[in-house]
Structure 1
Amino acid sequence: MTFPLLGVLALLAVDGLQAQTPEPPPAAAPAPAAPAEAKPDLPTLQAAARDAEEKMPAPELKPQTYFDLSPVQRERWQQFLPQTLLKLTRRERVQIVVLGDAILDGAKADGGADPLLRSFAGVFAKALASQFYYTGGVRVLRPGSKLRSKESMVMGPEILIQPLRTPSIVSAASALATVGFQGKPDLVIVAHGLEDGMAGTTMEDIMAALSSLRDTARGNRLEMIVAGPPPQAAAPEETSLALTRGATSVMREFCAAEKLLFSDLGDFSRLIVPPAAAREAHLIFPAVMQQYQSRLNIVPAGQIATPTTETHESMGRILFQDVMTGAPGVAWRVSDARVVLAGQGGLKLEFQIANTRREALSLTVLPLVPAGFRLKDAKPEIKLAAGAKETVQVDYTIINTRYLPLSDGRLRLPVLVIAGKESRIHDLVATLQPFGVAWGARAAFNVEKDFAPSIEIENTSGKSLSAAWEVVWGGRKQEGKVALDTNGAETLQLALPLPAEEKAPFRQRLPLNLAVQASGVRQIFDRHIEVVRNFGLKEYVPLGAVDGQASAVTLRADADSMKLFLTFDLTGVDLMDDEAGKGFELLLNLDARSYGQRLAPGATAALRITGKAADGEAQVDEIAPWAFGSGYAAVFDVKEITAKLSSSAAGARRLTITLPKTYLYLHEWALANGNSQIGINARLNGGGRSYFLTRGTRRGDDAESLGVLELTDKPTRRWTVRVE
């Protein structure tokens, strides 16, 4: 800065000298000129410039290490994602694994680019790249794909996103531990719940899967974000909207307890703007639904509606905002939820809604209807003065007790609130009062004579409680009474006898009727229990039909020291090729962990085998590395598994599957030993009908949903028992 100042001061000095030169006297009276002042020399000017520069304030230069992050944003990053923040600020390569289900679908890209770039994950990654100056942008890691991995092939630091899809969160940890770790990931985004919500996956299974994901991520020093799914919008809308909210609620709770970052991608306050023209409650909901339905791709009835490209963009912005600052507030607050059994299948929900603004507020409160419930009565229109609050009451009828809490006693009821241009679905969670029931045993293997379900009656009344109970199982009634202290609980000493007849059906789905009465309230907690007998080698076992009609399809298993053979006799199945040229589809799940591991929770991935209706070799699809159980992590060549459809001289059809023992490398493979077991299920589609070996309410990739094959031709008479 010295030389510019020297120039300025020099010019000022010259001007000053010129201004001090006296004007010449009039011509009539000339006078001698005054002597000119001496011109400053260069050292004098330099000294003056230095003196002026020393008097100027020194510039304050701060190193930019957080790329425009505010202190609040920086603190949030440090709380949830400190390792990722460090790499981003250094502009080092960051790899994000995106675990998801159908939520990954729906976005469309132009010019042969990978559609994941336009999905919520791609939008989020691009926002990170812009925030932290990643000049190379975002690249999709999808091995073997012919799609363009980047929107523009620009050089520079990149953020990498790797999609990893599974049909359920149950198998997400196994997928992460195998395929997800093939690279060097830094961050995991768990975006499940859409398919699980549609399938009715229990909250307990979702919570267990989240715990497994947390352990897998932390064990490998990865950071994790959990993203809740967007709702569905099929008819009836009030039920469809509720399908995914249970999963969202569990995810939010889990993240709060584990100090993980949660983002609700189904937050209506950032997905839609309620139309101003609809003012009355009976008009507002249809208008909101019409707007939201336009943000989903149109699909045939019964299928999952995926988000459109525009909705994916909104979801990506939601995720980025939640990472940077958290979810924005709305003009109201919902709190103090309470759920009370009203007797005769009735249920009452109470909660408070408060106006948090300084002006009056008109709200439309619309309770959504989860599966297993029917809405009886609710007050949809509420007007609140500034700062006022009101208690809202909603009445339901319980129409299917399977949807009551299974183990934690807490019920999850979503409510849609609309006010002006804002709307949001609130997931209300409350413990069932004045009592609840928890099932301690959900699945048991190798049960011989009796099953103990570990049913616990819990006192949630806030005072001492006396309760009477009765259980009916297999036509046999048991009853008793319990006296419970405040917040006390007692486990019923029940032993449910299993089928003893030699010719008892291979699989049965039996009702267990449970009723509890206390404080003048009688409530039923009925559930079904699936009982499946273990089977052995060389034994023909029947496959049931989904339509409930008679089925003659059977499965026989054989094994030697090198291979496992599975033979399906397709008696009565009239195979015909469909429009895609496929005559049948077989989904085969095998849990080939060692005996001790197989009795613990885990996941498999179905082998998908398809073929034409004519005799010949069938096609085996690509096999997931964890296909044969949690802990497996291998690349399996589909050519080593043979599948062939054949016909006998009499016209009987047979499908034979052969698997090498080397693929089941974690199994002890002790032939002629009843404790050397493989978990198994088979689902066959063909001839316009569907067949199954076992069929419960658990997800197909859940290891606890499988039956048991004993690697002996003299199987023990033991059972797999599952509470549904």
Structure 2
Amino acid sequence: MFSNRKTFLILGALAFPGMAGLRAQAPAAPAAAPAQAPAPAAAPAAGAVPMDLQSLQQAARAAEEKLPTPKVKAQTFFELTPVEREHWRKFLPQTLQKLARRERVQIVVLGDAVLDGVTAASGQDPLLRSFAGVFASKLAAQFYYTGGVRVLRAGAKPRSRDAMVMGPEILIQPVRISGMAAAASALSTEGLRGQPDVVLVALGLEDGLAGVPEADVQEGFRSLLDTARNKRLEVIVAGPIPQAADPEEASLALTRGAASVLRDACAKAEVLFSDLGDLSRLIEVSPGAQGPDQIFPALVHEVQNLLGPAGASGAALPTAAMHTAMGRILYQDVMQGTPAVAWQTGAAKATLKGDGKLALEFELTNTRKEKLALTVLPLVPAGLSPKDATTEIKLEAGAKEKVKVDYAISDSRSLPLEDGTLRLPVLVTAGAQARIEDLAMPLQPFSVAVNTRAAFNQETEFNPEIEIENATGAKFSAEWESMCGGKSQTGRIDLEASGSEVLKLALPLPTQGKPLRRVQSLKLVVNSGGVKQSFDRQVELTRNMGLKEAVPLTAADGKESSVTVRADADGMKLFFTLDLAGVSLADDEKGNAYEVLLNLDARSYGERLTAGATAALRITGKAADGAAKVDAISPWAFGSSYAAEFDPKEIQATLISSASGGRRLTIVLPKSYLYLHEWALGNGNSQLGVNVRLSGGGRDYYLTRSSRRGDDAEGLSVLELTDKPTLRWTVRVE
């Protein structure tokens, strides 16, 4: 509000020119008369202009009293509170320094399906209305007096700015990928085209829906973080959004494993984590809902209202309202951190009970100063089914209580076989607040880890390095038995407190090369102190294929397949020929009759045996004979070490028909595109990682199929650049 002093000065300044004008029009003053006592000042007539200072002051005060009270909006921008400043200095000190100096900041957004389906006004880049655009806009308003947000998108036609305002900008650059496996490769190529300052990682949605193992998400994030830090980039991680399809209690759990892994990894690496699936800030539970039977459906309804139709990835995509809410969540977490809810969880423990049973126990604390009524609803993760739980709990102010949930293990392949950590999502509500608590704890009294989940060029036997870990805190003894490929092995282990031992397992590999792909079951049973639990997995074996060899593709429906693929090569080109026997092609509503996804890992031999990623070449075409379309090619398409611009016109794909009625699709790639590969024809150690996936005639076919993402290099098989391939195998424990 303006002060009286300021108002007086304004009115006085306006009054003095008027008074001077009046004096200029008055007759000249008569000659001075003898001094007399001054007469009392007469009150000014109505409408008269006061002539002396005292009257001017009175008039100014009277005028001010008649003015409306000014409403000045509280200033919330430009300055950070001490708490906010400390939060920025902990996680994003370099970015804070640039924003405080009102310099341009560039944010690379590595996102999966969460970036799809965003709508915007005509001529405007949709990213501006996504959660990333909302977040960037709030940052610009916070730190820039004038300025805005601009989208960096190669070849973009829509207007890329949110407003035509002169000033510093926050640049946001989208890089669309499907999962964490390709994150490091995407960042080191597409992401570094400009001069980024921050990497915003918005992944986990597609990984969660695809059931990608948590260890793969963790490994992919570790590689991404190393890449970012080598380039002195700061990192923000946005956890995946929820899903709410039928059955909702299982759908809500799909992305929580990835969220939990990323939260823990960020805490360990001191990276800022923001949970975009935080229900406490996305929805409010209906106040009329009472008891779990009403609260859960009401909550699911609110979540479903935030989600639109499913996209091409199968994920239900966020609406515009949800994007706005997610942008606010991200901004709040960057500025101040995640706000607390009315409760707190802790001291979680998961214990195997034998006979396919599992018990969860954790503490629930009321952090408020008043009594609290809570509902606890265990969600349904893969392979587990909640059987008994106390769902309604009342806690006095500051009180805590142990919550117990019993599960049945419906599929032992879902028990953790990576790091021994079990992650269980539990939905907690109190009043209008709801949040999915991601409980992470070691599996007790023992857990099992497979240290070698993928191996190439295996000959006579495979050692998966299965490790039994003692989580009891005391001495531990157990008997074990494994069964795989018709071979049984047994043994006993004695472990010190918190000790572990790698079992000396040798899984025999086939001595015949056909069929090229086969799947075996791996069963491990551990028995300790009356607790007997089976840990089951599947082992996929794929023999190395050679040139000129027609290899059958497996049909996803399990039925017989006559489709084959053959590879050929010379000094200049690489060829793949698909014989589509039994495939009845017909154009769909988009005019496509088939789709081929071809993954190639063309790194050098030593690098190809390490973790990495490729990006599939996508080829589509009509049912009629003719050239097919090759989509734009990612810079890392042929392996993590690649970073080039590839012209899809240089790859030919042609569908032809034979006189006998057969159909054949031929794909030709120039050798120059695989410039990092040794390309020693006739040498069995000159290899390419490869996978072929075909969709056509209402059926799907594949060369190899893994629980890993399709772009994960460890999910590929091996092509030897010789027509006399060796009897070696790619082995994966899934």
Q: Structure 2 length as normaliser, TM-score?
A: 0.89
Match runs of 1:135-146 below 5 Å: 135-146=146-157
C-alpha displacement at 1:417, in angstroms?
0.6
C-alpha displacement at 1:460, in angstroms?
0.8
Asked whether 1:259 is paired with 2:265, we answer no
C-alpha displacement at 1:521, in angstroms?
0.4
Larger CA deviation: 446-455 vs 578-587:
578-587
Residue 399 of structure 1 corresponds to which residue in structure 2?
Answer: 410
Structure 1 gap segments, 5+ residues each? 12-20, 26-63
Q: Kindly provide the amino acid, as one letter, of the partner of residue 555 in structure 1.
A: V
- Is the 8 Å Cα contact of residues 367 and 414 (structure 1) preserved in structure 2? yes
C-alpha displacement at 1:107, in angstroms?
2.8
C-alpha displacement at 1:112, in angstroms?
2.3
- Is the 8 Å Cα contact of residues 276 and 421 (structure 1) preserved in structure 2? yes
Match runs of 1:382-461 below 5 Å: 382-461=393-472
C-alpha displacement at 1:267, in angstroms?
0.6
Asked whether 1:670 is paired with 2:647, we answer no
Residue 306 of structure 2 corresponds to which residue in structure 1?
Answer: 295
Q: 1:201 to 1:572 in 2, by over 3 A?
A: same
Question: Of 161, 168, 171, which residue of structure 2 is paired with 1:157?
Answer: 168
Residue 45 of structure 1 corresponds to which residue in structure 2?
Answer: none
Residue 310 of structure 1 corresponds to which residue in structure 2?
Answer: 321
Helix, strand or coil: the match of 1:288? helix
Question: Of 518, 541, 555, which residue of structure 2 is paired with 1:508?
Answer: 518
- Is the 8 Å Cα contact of residues 405 and 438 (structure 1) preserved in structure 2? yes
2: CA distance between counterparts of 1:212 and 1:303? 27
Q: 1:717 to 1:188 in 2, by over 3 A?
A: same
Helix, strand or coil: the match of 2:309? coil
Helix, strand or coil: the match of 2:298? helix
2: CA distance between counterparts of 1:475 and 1:674? 30
2: CA distance between counterparts of 1:668 and 1:681? 20
Q: Kindly provide the amino acid, as one letter, of the partner of residue 372 in structure 1.
A: G
C-alpha displacement at 1:278, in angstroms?
0.6
Residue 109 of structure 2 corresponds to which residue in structure 1?
Answer: 98
Q: Which digits, 9 at most, give the CA deviation of each residue in 1:191-243, with x for residues without a partner?
A: 00000000011111111111111111111111100110111001111110000
- Is the 8 Å Cα contact of residues 134 and 158 (structure 1) preserved in structure 2? no
1: CA distance between counterparts of 2:415 and 2:480? 17
Residue 238 of structure 1 corresponds to which residue in structure 2?
Answer: 249
C-alpha displacement at 1:134, in angstroms?
5.2
Asked whether 1:350 is paired with 2:361, we answer yes
Question: Of 681, 691, 699, which residue of structure 1 is paired with 2:701?
Answer: 691
Residue 261 of structure 2 corresponds to which residue in structure 1?
Answer: 250
C-alpha displacement at 1:407, in angstroms?
1.8
C-alpha displacement at 1:402, in angstroms?
1.9
Match runs of 1:649-664 below 5 Å: 649-664=659-674
Residue 626 of structure 1 corresponds to which residue in structure 2?
Answer: 636
- Is the 8 Å Cα contact of residues 311 and 317 (structure 2) preserved in structure 1? no
- Is the 8 Å Cα contact of residues 595 and 696 (structure 2) preserved in structure 1? yes
1: CA distance between counterparts of 2:636 and 2:428? 43
Q: Which digits, 9 at most, give the CA deviation of each residue in 1:310-344, with x for residues without a partner?
A: 01111000000000100111111110000000111
Asked whether 1:714 is paired with 2:731, we answer no
Q: Which digits, 9 at most, give the CA deviation of each residue in 1:406-461, with x for residues without a partner?
A: 22101000111100111111100010000111111010000000000101111111
Q: Kindly provide the amino acid, as one letter, of the partner of residue 552 in structure 2.
A: P
Q: 1:302 to 1:130 in 2, by over 3 A?
A: closer
Q: Which digits, 9 at most, give the CA deviation of each residue in 1:366-422, with x for residues without a partner?
A: 111111111111111001111111100001111112211122101000111100111
Asked whether 1:371 is paired with 2:382, we answer yes
Q: Kindly provide the amino acid, as one letter, of the partner of residue 462 in structure 2.
A: F
- Is the 8 Å Cα contact of residues 357 and 408 (structure 2) preserved in structure 1? yes
Question: Of 483, 490, 511, which residue of structure 1 is paired with 2:494?
Answer: 483
Match runs of 1:125-140 below 5 Å: 125-133=136-144, 135-140=146-151
Q: 1:181 to 1:302 in 2, by over 3 A?
A: closer
C-alpha displacement at 1:136, in angstroms?
2.4
2: CA distance between counterparts of 1:359 and 1:584? 62
Cα RMSD for the two superposed structures: 1.9
- Is the 8 Å Cα contact of residues 106 and 309 (structure 1) preserved in structure 2? no
2: CA distance between counterparts of 1:626 and 1:24? 97
Match runs of 1:561-576 below 5 Å: 561-576=571-586
Residue 125 of structure 2 corresponds to which residue in structure 1?
Answer: 114
Question: Of 570, 587, 602, which residue of structure 1 is paired with 2:597?
Answer: 587
C-alpha displacement at 1:298, in angstroms?
3.0
2: CA distance between counterparts of 1:178 and 1:107? 25
C-alpha displacement at 1:701, in angstroms?
0.2
- Is the 8 Å Cα contact of residues 607 and 623 (structure 1) preserved in structure 2? yes
Q: 1:230 to 1:300 in 2, by over 3 A?
A: closer
1: CA distance between counterparts of 2:216 and 2:366? 36
Question: Of 552, 567, 578, which residue of structure 2 is paired with 1:542?
Answer: 552
- Is the 8 Å Cα contact of residues 113 and 311 (structure 2) preserved in structure 1? no
2: CA distance between counterparts of 1:224 and 1:134? 25
Q: Kindly provide the amino acid, as one letter, of the partner of residue 716 in structure 2.
A: L
Asked whether 1:204 is paired with 2:247, we answer no
- Is the 8 Å Cα contact of residues 134 and 159 (structure 1) preserved in structure 2? no
Larger CA deviation: 206-215 vs 133-142:
133-142
Structure 2 gap segments, 5+ residues each? 17-34, 40-74
Helix, strand or coil: the match of 1:429? strand
Residue 41 of structure 1 corresponds to which residue in structure 2?
Answer: none
Q: Kindly provide the amino acid, as one letter, of the partner of residue 442 in structure 2.
A: T
2: CA distance between counterparts of 1:534 and 1:299? 38
1: CA distance between counterparts of 2:518 and 2:145? 59
C-alpha displacement at 1:621, in angstroms?
0.6
1: CA distance between counterparts of 2:532 and 2:486? 21
1: CA distance between counterparts of 2:704 and 2:428? 42
C-alpha displacement at 1:673, in angstroms?
0.5
Residue 538 of structure 2 corresponds to which residue in structure 1?
Answer: 528
Helix, strand or coil: the match of 1:294? helix
C-alpha displacement at 1:24, in angstroms?
7.8
Question: Of 628, 639, 648, which residue of structure 1 is paired with 2:658?
Answer: 648
Q: Kindly provide the amino acid, as one letter, of the partner of residue 163 in structure 1.
A: P
Question: Of 269, 277, 281, which residue of structure 1 is paired with 2:292?
Answer: 281
Residue 89 of structure 1 corresponds to which residue in structure 2?
Answer: 100
Helix, strand or coil: the match of 1:357? coil
Residue 54 of structure 2 corresponds to which residue in structure 1?
Answer: none
C-alpha displacement at 1:484, in angstroms?
1.1
Q: Kindly provide the amino acid, as one letter, of the partner of residue 533 in structure 1.
A: R
C-alpha displacement at 1:478, in angstroms?
1.0
Residue 484 of structure 2 corresponds to which residue in structure 1?
Answer: 473
Q: Kindly provide the amino acid, as one letter, of the partner of residue 394 in structure 1.
A: V
Residue 197 of structure 2 corresponds to which residue in structure 1?
Answer: 186
Helix, strand or coil: the match of 1:722? strand
Q: Kindly provide the amino acid, as one letter, of the partner of residue 510 in structure 1.
A: Q
Helix, strand or coil: the match of 2:189? helix
Residue 602 of structure 1 corresponds to which residue in structure 2?
Answer: 612
Q: 1:134 to 1:192 in 2, by over 3 A?
A: farther
